Amino acid sequence: EDKVVQSPLSLVVHEGDTVTLNCSYEVTNFRSLLWYKQEKKAPTFLFMLTSSGIEKKSGRLSSILDKKELFSILNITATQTGDSAVYLCAFSGPQGAQKLVFGQGTRLTINP
Amino acid sequence: DAEITQSPRHKITETGRQVTLACHQTWNHNNMFWYRQDLGHGLRLIHYSYGVHDTNKGEVSDGYSVSRSNTEDLPLTLESAASSQTSVYFCASSNPSGGSEQYFGPGTRLTVT
């Protein structure tokens, strides 16, 4: 059975800290790995990674995929209170099967 | 601007009643999905559709049905609501010729009493 496991499930840090969120997966047919941010509403898309070892960046957020070791990390540097959210990772399967399988999410809390 | 909307945003219903949650998108996406989100489970796929008249069961489809009569809408029906179906429901859509990224609606909070 395909599955995605995120760790930690919950993380509390101070503003300005750097955090690393982890996502490991066991899938039979991997196409891409996606990261979403969810505040008190709908998940919003952050990154999609398909190639191993290539970092995607957007401001203070960055992510990288390791297809050999079957994991991805999401880094957030110089955290701000607005980064407080649940971060979800998901994978998609073969071309044409566009379903996503989500992990449980990591709840990140940034204290001022 | 293109968007995806859900209605109602909040619903309280009684056990045994039939409930329909609406999802409407103006992205002109062929792919549409319904998820439920519960504490400790992340997002779980209920049903999905890759185009008009196409529907497929997801991971947690028991007690739910969908129909796709046009590109814009994928209503989700709970045939006979149960307390275990109390949850937040999200609809999403994606472009099959794009990447795998899905765009989510604002969610419907459903309480079954």
pLDDT, one tens digit per residue, over A12-38 is: 999 999 999 999 998 877 888 999 999
Q: What pLDDT is stored for residue A96 in this prediction?
A: 58
Residues 6+ apart with CB under 8 A from A58: A46, A47
Tell me how far apart the alpha carbons of residues B79 and A102 are, in angstroms, rounded to a whole number.
Answer: 26
A112 falls in which pLDDT band (50, 70, 90)?
very high
Tell me how far apart the alpha carbons of residues B32 and B71 are, in angstroms, rounded to a whole number.
Answer: 9
> How much of chain A exceeds pLDDT 90, in percent?
68
pLDDT above 80 (res B21): yes
Give the number of other Cβ atoms within 10 Å of residue B29's Cβ.
21
Tell me the pLDDT of chain A averaged across its residues.
91
Question: Do the Cβ atoms of A4 and A34 come closer than 8 Å?
Answer: no
The mean pLDDT of B77-106, rounded to a whole number, is 92
Tell me the pLDDT of chain B averaged across its residues.
94
Burial class (CB in 10 A: 0-12, 13-18, 19+), B78: buried
pLDDT above 90 (res B1): no
B106 falls in which pLDDT band (50, 70, 90)?
very high
Q: What is the pLDDT of residues B22-71, one digit of tens each?
A: 999 999 999 999 999 998 788 999 999 999 999 999 999 999 999 999 99
The mean pLDDT of A84-88, rounded to a whole number, is 97
Tell me how far apart the alpha carbons of residues A14 and A92 are, in angstroms, rounded to a whole number.
Answer: 33
β-pairing, A71-76 with A19-26?
A: antiparallel
β-pairing, B19-25 with B4-7?
A: antiparallel
Tell if the CB–CB gap between A105 and B42 is shorter than 8 Å: yes
The mean pLDDT of A29-58, rounded to a whole number, is 89
Q: What pLDDT is stored for residue B98 in this prediction?
A: 67
- Asked, as a colleague might, if the bond just before B8 is cis with ω within 30 of 0, I would say yes
Tell if the CB–CB gap between A100 and B41 is shorter than 8 Å: no
SS (H, E, C) chain B: CCCEEEECCEEEECCCCCEEEEEEECCCCCEEEEEEEECCCEEEEEEEEEECCEEEECCCCCCEEECCCCCCECCEEECCCCHHHCEEEEEEEECCCCCCCCEECCCEEEEEC
Q: What pLDDT is stored for residue A67 in this prediction?
A: 83
- Which chain B residues are closer than 8 Å to A34 by Cβ? 100-101
Tell if the CB–CB gap between A48 and B31 is shorter than 8 Å: no
Distance between start and end Cα atoms, chain A: 41
Task: Name the CA radius of gyration of chain A, rounded.
Answer: 14
Q: What pLDDT is stored for residue B96 in this prediction?
A: 75
pLDDT above 70 (res A97): no
Residues 6+ apart with CB under 8 A from A90: A4, A33, A34, A36, A100, A101, A102, A103, B43
Tell if the CB–CB gap between B42 and A98 is shorter than 8 Å: no
Q: Tell me the three state secondary structure of residue A62.
A: strand
> How much of chain B exceeds pLDDT 70, in percent?
98
Tell me the shortest Cα–Cα distance from A89 to chain B, in angstroms. Answer: 10
- Give the residue from B34, B100, B104, B109 with the most A CB atoms within 10 Å of its CB, the best one to mutate: B100
Tell if the CB–CB gap between B106 and A104 is shorter than 8 Å: no
Determine the residue of chain B that is closest to A92 in CA distance. Answer: B100
pLDDT above 80 (res A94): no
